[in-house]
């Protein structure tokens, strides 16, 4: 874990993520453990008040800059009766372009945010804590290039009671990760 994470962390008390599996959803802990050792070591986690897990409330309460937070959303669409899903990661200062960029990438007629219960069931993560770490392996993980270029970014941990702080570039090392130009608008 490096000091480079401090600007994104605000007042969070960071610890190496792999030392606190209790602060991670099970698929998130497994995904972190599967990373190359140097990438895993660069990831930190911090406990937060679960009532402050939503991005705006979190940033205000913990002094973390909004431009250092990224949101991960689950997008769904179908083609010829086949349901297709993707994880999409954009900076909190932008929105995912679901109706154009993601729709085209998934090759579906219409794409939309997956219903909350579907997203929770398929990811094994809590709503409001869904993160790019540990998403189903068959899904593409679409990441806006601005997220990958961010020195340190705050993302969910799979639960509402903590946040991960990681180098943006680590997200590009996750299974299925694709940098997708124009994803964040």
Q: What is the pLDDT of residue 4?
A: 87
Distance of CA 175 to the CA centre of its chain: 13
Provide the CATH number for the domain around residue 89: 3.90.960.10
Helical residues (DSSP H) of 68-183, grouped into ranges: 103-106, 116-123, 145-148, 168-171
Q: Is residue 84 part of a domain?
A: yes
pLDDT tens digits, one per residue of 150-176: 999 999 999 999 999 999 999 999 999
Phi then psi for residue 89, to 5 deg, are: -120, 120
Contact, 14 vs 162, CB < 8 A? no
State which residues form the domain around 79.
3-171
Q: Is residue 144 part of a domain?
A: yes
Phi then psi for residue 83, to 5 deg, are: -80, 130
**pLDDT for residue 60 is more than 80:** yes
**pLDDT for residue 3 is more than 70:** no
First to last CA, the chain: 31
Tokens of 8: 């994104």
Per the structure, the count of domains in the chain is: 1
Q: Is residue 181 part of a domain?
A: no
**pLDDT for residue 20 is more than 90:** yes
The answer to whether the predicted template modeling score (pTM) of the entire model surpasses 0.85 is yes
Q: Is residue 185 part of a domain?
A: no
Q: Is residue 182 part of a domain?
A: no
**pLDDT for residue 1 is more than 90:** no
Q: Is residue 183 part of a domain?
A: no
pLDDT tens digits, one per residue of 72-121: 999 999 998 899 999 999 999 999 999 999 999 999 999 999 999 999 99
Q: Is residue 34 part of a domain?
A: yes
Q: Is residue 178 part of a domain?
A: no
């Amino acid at each position: 874990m490096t000091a480079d994470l401090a600007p994104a962390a605000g007042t969070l008390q960071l610890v190496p993520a792999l030392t606190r599996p209790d602060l991670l959803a099970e698929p998130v802990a497994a995904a972190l453990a599967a990373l190359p050792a140097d990438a895993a070591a660069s990831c930190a986690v911090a406990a937060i008040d679960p009532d402050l897990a939503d991005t705006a409330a979190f940033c205000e309460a913990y002094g973390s800059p909004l431009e250092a937070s990224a949101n991960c959303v689950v997008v769904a669409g179908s083609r010829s009766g086949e349901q297709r899903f993707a994880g999409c990661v954009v900076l909190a200062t932008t929105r995912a372009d679901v109706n154009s960029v993601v729709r085209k990438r998934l090759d579906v007629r219409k794409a939309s945010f997956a219903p909350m219960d579907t997203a929770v069931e398929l990811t094994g993560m809590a709503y409001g804590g869904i993160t790019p770490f540990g998403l189903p392996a068959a899904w593409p993980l679409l990441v806006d290039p601005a997220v990958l270029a961010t020195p340190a970014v705050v993302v969910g941990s799979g639960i509402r009671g903590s946040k991960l702080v990681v180098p943006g570039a680590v997200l590009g090392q996750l299974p299925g990760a694709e940098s997708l130009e124009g994803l964040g608008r």
